[in-house]
């Protein structure tokens, strides 16, 4: 089986989020067979919901599609290092592999901050692969926040 990255789809969701005035973060959930079953970008402003991060929306949709509250054998791609809330949701969902793009020194919860998956209370830790598509993800975020100033 050859590895196929779905980060380009996540980046497209991040760009779509920026176009809606949302922080440009995109996420994709891929099933065991390699099919994209959910994709989402941030919608916190649109829905007045501070939990409407791309990862949460993608996991909710994937669980709906799968008809299950857990997604073992599923992988999640996200353009930015997940925050602590999303990292916890990824753990609860039993995601198999987490691929993320840019590091987030300000709000990340995986490689810095609370390091949710390294915490003794984390009942499930996905395999984590970082830095995929990181440059493009960081560029989108930088352009977005510069335009806000």
Candidate residues 7, 22, 27, 53; the one interacting with Zn ion per rule CB under 5 A: 53
| CA dihedral of 73, 60, 53, 44, whole degrees rounded to 10 | 170
* Beta bridge partners of residue 26, listed in sequence order: 41
Find the part of the chain contacting Zn ion (CB under 5 A) among 2-10, 30-38, 46-54, 65-73: 46-54
Query: In this complex, which beta carbon is closest to Zn ion, that of residue 6 or of residue 53?
Result: 53
Region at 22 (left for phi over 0; alpha for psi -120 to 50; beta for the rest): beta
Is there binding between residue 83 and Zn ion (CB under 5 A)? Answer: yes
From residue 109, how far is each of 9, 81, 114 by CA, in Å? 23, 7, 5
Of 7, 38, 71, 86, the residue at the interface with Zn ion (CB under 5 A) is 86
Binding residues for Zn(2+): 53, 83, 86
Residues that bind Zn ion (CB under 5 A): 53, 83, 86
């Amino acid at each position: 089986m050859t590895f196929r990255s779905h980060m380009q789809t996540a980046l497209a969701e991040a760009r779509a989020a920026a176009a809606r005035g949302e922080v440009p973060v995109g996420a994709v959930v891929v099933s065991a067979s390699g099919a994209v079953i959910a994709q989402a970008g941030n919608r916190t402003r649109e829905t007045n919901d501070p939990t409407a991060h791309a990862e949460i929306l993608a996991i909710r949709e994937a669980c709906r599609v799968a008809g299950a509250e857990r997604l073992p054998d599923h992988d999640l791609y996200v353009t930015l290092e997940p925050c602590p809330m999303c990292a916890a949701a990824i753990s609860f969902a039993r995601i198999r592999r987490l691929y993320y793009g840019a590091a987030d020194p300000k709000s990340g919860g995986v490689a810095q901050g609370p390091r949710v998956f390294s915490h003794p209370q984390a009942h499930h830790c996905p395999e984590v692969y970082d830095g995929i598509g990181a440059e493009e993800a960081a560029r989108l975020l930088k352009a977005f926040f510069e335009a806000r100033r």
